[in-house]
Amino acid sequence: MHEFRQLFRQWLGAVCLVVIAYAPTCRLHAQTAPTAPAATQPVPLLKEMPVQSAARAASEREHQREMDLLGIKELRPGTEKDANWDESKANVYAKLPDPLVEKSGKPVTTAKEWWRVRRPEIVEDYDREVLGRTPANLPRVTWEVVSTTPEKMGGIAVVTKRLAGHVDNSSCPQIAVTIDATLTTPADAKGPVPVIMELAFAGEFKASLVRPISDTTTGALGDYGQTWESQVLAKGWGFAVLSPTSYQADDAAGMTEGIIGLMNKGQPRGLEDWGGLKAWAWGASRLLDYLETDKTVNAKQVGIEGHSRMGKAALVAMAYDPRFAVLYSSSSGEGGAKLYRHVYGEPLSHIETPYFYWMGANLLKYAGPLTPGDLPVDNHELIALCAPRPVFIGAGTSVRNEPGKPGDGWADARGMFLAEVAAGPVYRLLGKKDLGTTEFPVMETAVIDGDLGFRQHSGGHTPAPNWPTFLTFASKYLHGPDASKAP
Ligand code: GCU
């Protein structure tokens, strides 16, 4: 299932429509970017549509262009067959970078040193080597409430607003960028409510717009009873659904479009430019800007959730925007909450093949000439960037996904748990509680007594079974205006 070619095939199916929609843009008028010969093409398994071949070729050209600029000849193999599935072989790199030791070697012993010295050092490493740099001069976003609809969801009267964030594209008018989102709040709330923002996959966002609302067709992947939206509403809170792919396509060919393309005036990105995760996180922050202006919302109590690639993006959003109050990062795995140095399930070299555009270009180096052990940071430090705010990490079983036997081993629950454990010292330094254990918990045990939370459910690659536990965790921090519904 995770074979490179199969993945490319699945991925292309999802993106080909986006590619068809793309018109020539500012790049036609701008300087010619350095190009590289097309990468070796994988042998097609099925007959491709011309548009799919075009998208694959464009993606592989961009991959090769970045490899060439970095002087990288080849990456380590990264398919599911190349992955390690044996926990006893997962800890090949003895030491994690210490989040509480400065580059100078000085131990960090006060919160002030963390904020002034060490945290900026970690951010700089992530920006340069892992995620790419968010541009400084990002354009203004003007929010439009496209429609306001009173309706009922799970028996609760709500108001749903369809929102459009129009991104100022005067720097390159050929590239139009709009952020699509919705906001649903209880109609009878006694005051501004906490809101959980979901970063939705394209299909989920589309499904969330379908009316009449069904209690089983929205958001959550997999049917585990009440939808996450209904669970959130039952608390007296509201929810927002953001469509990250509306402003940055989930493919490399789309990097000369969307917000990344707009910032580069349609040119290919530079080696230190941001990747998709940072761009998706940027849009989450812009939606939070809107929520700050909406009187039905308590914008100091906005949580953020995402699953899988959107779980990675949600973690990045939380790490980089201190206004998010609580995080649920589900099955984010490699490039998300999992330690790069815990070699189990998805390898870095896999992310850096079909999904290299999620990250900054420099991360390619660590899947080729260098190894995860050479990274200046690891993802316990991405979690630590969220401190002191509460973080909940969820995952499914550690077994491989097989037909008829759903597993979430690719996302590596233990690798994420270990990252949370290693983020603990930063939480403690800032006066908060760590996970409270260093022992990997028995399946379905909610570890939510501290300010870091964790749960592994017994299903496959889905966020649904961990929603109730996340909401119990979040209820320690988010409080609605309606006392009878407050936890
Ligand atoms: C692939 C990818 C993962 C990612 C997942 C998803 O499996 O390898 O890193 O999390 O897609 O987003 O569904």
CA of 323 to the centre of ligand 1 (A): 27
Q: Which two tokens stand for residue 419?
A: 């990252």
Ligand 1 pocket, residue 457 CB under 6 Å: no
Nearest CA to ligand 1 atom 13: 308
Q: Which two tokens stand for residue 92?
A: 């090949």
φ, ψ (nearest 5 deg) of residue 221: -85, 125
Which of 221, 277, 309 should be mutated for ligand 1, with most atoms under 8 A from CB?
Answer: 309
Beta-sheet pairing, 326-330 with 238-243? unpaired
Ligand 1 pocket, residue 346 CB under 6 Å: yes
CA distance 148 to 142: 17
CA distance 310 to 316: 10
Q: Is the pLDDT of residue 335 over 60?
A: yes
Mean local confidence (pLDDT), 292-314? 98
Residue-wise pLDDT for 458-485, tens only, equals: 999 999 999 999 999 999 999 999 654 4
Q: Which amino acid is at 159?
A: V
Task: Check if the beta carbon of residue 187 is closer than 8 Å to that of residue 157.
Answer: yes
CA distance 414 to 436: 16
Q: Which amino acid is at 432?
A: K
Ligand 1 pocket, residue 333 CB under 6 Å: yes
Task: Check if the beta carbon of residue 249 is closer than 8 Å to that of residue 101.
Answer: no
| For the CA of 410, the nearest atom of ligand 1 | 7
Task: Check if the beta carbon of residue 297 is closer than 8 Å to that of residue 183.
Answer: yes
Task: Check if the beta carbon of residue 477 is closer than 8 Å to that of residue 194.
Answer: no
Q: Which two tokens stand for residue 50?
A: 């011309």
Mean local confidence (pLDDT), 428-451? 98
pLDDT at 247: 98
Ligand 1 pocket, residue 309 CB under 6 Å: yes
User: Thinking of the domain 130-474, which architecture would CATH place it in?
Assistant: 3-Layer(aba) Sandwich (3.40)
> How many CB atoms lie under 10 A from the CB of residue 400?
16
Residue 393, CB-side half-sphere exposure with 13 Å CA sphere: 31
Look up the pTM and report it. Answer: 0.91
Mean local confidence (pLDDT), 179-191? 98
Task: Check if the beta carbon of residue 447 is closer than 8 Å to that of residue 476.
Answer: no
Residue-wise pLDDT for 47-92, tens only, equals: 667 777 888 899 999 999 999 999 999 999 999 999 999 999 999 9
pLDDT at 20: 29
Which of 346, 393, 416 should be mutated for ligand 1, with most atoms under 8 A from CB?
Answer: 346
Which of 79, 308, 363, 379 should be mutated for ligand 1, with most atoms under 8 A from CB?
Answer: 308
Q: Which of 237, 134, 244 is nearest to 193 (CA)?
A: 237
Q: What is the CA radius of gyration of the chain?
A: 22
CA distance 473 to 262: 39
3-state secondary structure of 66: helix
Q: What percent of the chain has pLDDT over 90?
A: 82
| For the CA of 334, the nearest atom of ligand 1 | 9
Least confident of 13-17, 99-103, 145-149, 333-337: 13-17
pLDDT at 4: 38
